Structures are given as C-alpha cells and as structure tokens.
C-alpha cells in the first residue's frame, strides 16, 4: 500500500468543470496499463465526505483505509490513484467568508487522514477573482450579492493564503498549481502533471478544451499544421497553439461578462493586478510547482 500515491485534484470551483476528470476517464484503459487508476466520481465523493465526518480529524485505522480503498478501486494495486472533486476545499456556499476558502486546510487534512500512510499530491487551478467571483456568485442558491460578499474585502483576497494554509497543515505534500486562464495553452502539461502518464502517451479528448474556444476551421488547420510540423518541445507546441488561438478563437467564449453590483472598471483592474502579483508570489513559494504558459 505504501508505494501508492493518491493524487488530489482540488479544483478550484469554476475552473475545470470536470473537464480534466472526463478526459482521464476516457483514457482509463491506457492509463490503467501504466498503474494509474481513475475511478468514477460516484465511487468516492460521498464516501470520502462521510468517512471524513466520521473520523472527526483522527487518522483512519488500517482496516478503515483498506475498506475505503476497496470501495474506490476495483484494481488490486495502483501506483497512482486520481481523485478529483472541486468540493475538496469547500462547497460553493462556503468559499467566500472574509477570505477565499477559509476551511480549505482543515478539510484537505481531514480527507488525507482517511489514508494517513499513503503519499499524497495536490493539484489546483487558480482564477482571477475578477472573473472567478461572478461565476462563483452564479453558483449560489437563493443568496443576494450582499449575503454572498458579507463584508469581505475583495481587494484583500489572495490565493496564496489558501495554498500556504494547506501546505502548513499538510507539510511535504507536493503541490502543483496553474492559472485557469492559461489552461488552453498548457492543457497537455496539466493532464500529464495530474495523471503522471508516461511520455509519448496519446490521450483521447486532449483537444476538447481548445475545441471549445477555437473555431472548427482553426482546429482543423492547427491539427494539420501540427501533423506536418511536429513540435520538438512543449514551448514550441504552445507557440503554435497560441498563434492559431489568436487567429481563430471564438470571441464569445473568450470574452467574459463582468456584471457584479457596484463593480467598476477600476474594481476589475485592481482585482486583476492583485491576482498577477499573487500568482508571482505563489510561483516563488517553496513546495509549489507552477505550470506556466
């Protein structure tokens, strides 16, 4: 059991919308041959939540661990077990309370206590609060904007606080971070970081994200260009994708609507500038691997 590693894809909300999990599930067989197990979410989400509540922060016994693993995995063994859930850090209604994800560290530690002896790894996508908060607000049920914000100082929100807290409560756990805004350009690297698949593995559906923001003509042209000029490096591929995106991006998918009560252009600009500075601080944090575009 000890040689296995559990990979927790922590979200955040409004970043991935299950796309990563869908792609890995589609490629279950090829990943399975490499010892990478991707269970369906129905097998573990409620189970982990209920187990964590029962444990009340205590470490699970070996029997409990074995029992839970048995329900999650059909396989006898795995090198990597991928668990993805954007509610690992919090349910949407608790994301914003004076800060971002105030309960994140405690929750993540509680989930890790289910498998205290198994090595873990964390993965998280960040998003500019200027677009993240409007989308998060849209996920709230029966709450007004005032109830949602509840006196929180929006300009004081920092993702680095969340990551720092989680690392403090879970020392030594590798933590991979990227910006949701960069995902179209770094998607293959994100998939690789989470699944840990071998170099040269072809994943079905790895283009789904690009296809959602680029015209079919652009996708066809880009793919034929890539076939004729296989990129030698990650950076080379990124430049090619970037060039085609510049030309063939679907405007309406890329433009964001910013309609929040009382927000001005200045609010958006300040939130965005704060986010850029925050991302720079996170890149420099010990224990964090940053996938940058």
Segments forming the whole domain that contains residue 51: 5-203+261-291
In a domain, 36, yes or no: yes
Predicted confidence band at 255 (pLDDT cuts at 50, 70, 90)? low
**pLDDT digits 0-9 by tens, 9-33:** 999 999 999 999 999 999 999 999 9
pLDDT at 141 over 50: yes
Predicted confidence band at 161 (pLDDT cuts at 50, 70, 90)? very high
pLDDT value at position 254?
47
Over its C-alpha atoms, the chain yields an Rg (Å, rounded) of: 20
In a domain, 57, yes or no: yes
Tell me the C-alpha distance between 210 and 248, whole Å: 11
Q: What is the CATH number of the domain that holds 97?
A: 3.40.50
pLDDT value at position 246?
92
pLDDT value at position 208?
85
- What is the pLDDT averaged over residues 218-239? 93
What is the DSSP code string of the chain? -TT-EEEEE---TTT-TTHHHHHHHHTHHHHHTTTEE---GGGTHHHHHHHHHHHTTPPPPHHHHHHHHHHH-SSS--SEEEEE-TTSS--GGGSBSSSB-TTHHHHHHHHHTTSTTSEEEEEEEE--HHHHHHHHHHT-SS--HHHHHTT--GGG--HHHHHHHHHHHSTT--EEEEEGGGHHHHHHHHHHHHH-PPTTPPPTTTTHHHHHHB-HHHHHHHHHHHHHS--SSHHHHHHHHHHHHHHHB-HHHHS-----TT--HHHHHHHHHHHHHHHHHHHTSTTEEEE--
Give residue for tokens 């873990």: 120
In a domain, 124, yes or no: yes
In a domain, 255, yes or no: no
In a domain, 28, yes or no: yes
The answer to whether 290 and 178 are in contact (CB under 8 A) is: yes
pLDDT at 227 over 80: yes
How many domains are there within the chain?
1
In a domain, 233, yes or no: no
pLDDT at 175 over 50: yes
pLDDT value at position 22?
95
- What is the pLDDT averaged over residues 174-202? 94
pLDDT at 185 over 60: yes
Per cent of the chain over pLDDT 70 is 97
- What is the pLDDT averaged over residues 62-74? 95
pLDDT at 159 over 90: yes
pLDDT value at position 171?
93
The answer to whether 285 and 166 are in contact (CB under 8 A) is: no
Predicted confidence band at 1 (pLDDT cuts at 50, 70, 90)? very low
- What is the pLDDT averaged over residues 254-282? 87
pLDDT at 207 over 90: no
In a domain, 253, yes or no: no
What is the average pLDDT value for the chain, to the nearest integer? 93
In a domain, 238, yes or no: no
């Amino acid at each position: 059991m000890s040689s296995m590693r559990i990979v927790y894809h922590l979200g955040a909300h409004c970043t991935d919308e299950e796309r990563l999990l869908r792609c890995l599930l589609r490629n279950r067989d090829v990943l399975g041959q490499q010892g990478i197990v991707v269970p369906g979410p129905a097998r573990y989400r409620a189970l982990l939540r209920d187990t964590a509540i029962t444990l009340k922060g205590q470490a699970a016994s070996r029997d409990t661990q074995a029992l839970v693993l048995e329900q999650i995995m059909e396989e006898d063994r795995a090198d990597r077990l991928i668990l993805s859930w954007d509610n690992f850090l919090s349910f949407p209604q608790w994301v914003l309370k004076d800060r971002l994800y105030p309960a994140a560290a405690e929750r993540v530690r509680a989930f890790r206590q289910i498998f205290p002896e198994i090595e873990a790894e964390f993965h998280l996508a960040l998003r500019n609060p200027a677009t993240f908060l409007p989308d998060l607000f849209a996920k709230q049920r029966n709450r007004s904007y005032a109830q949602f914000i509840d006196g929180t100082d929006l300009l004081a929100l920092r993702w680095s606080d969340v990551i720092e807290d989680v690392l403090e409560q879970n020392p030594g756990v590798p933590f991979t971070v990227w910006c949701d805004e960069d995902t179209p350009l770094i998607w293959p690297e994100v998939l690789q970081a989470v699944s840990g698949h071998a170099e040269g593995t072809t994943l079905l559906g790895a283009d789904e994200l690009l296809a959602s923001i680029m015209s079919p003509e652009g996708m066809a042209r880009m793919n034929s260009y890539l076939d004729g000029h296989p990129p030698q490096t990650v950076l080379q591929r990124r430049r090619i994708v970037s060039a085609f995106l510049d030309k063939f991006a679907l405007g309406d998918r890329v433009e964001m609507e910013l309609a929040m009560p009382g927000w001005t252009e200045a609010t958006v600009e300040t939130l965005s500038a704060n986010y850029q500075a925050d991302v720079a601080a996170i890149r420099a944090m010990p224990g964090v691997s940053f996938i940058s575009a």
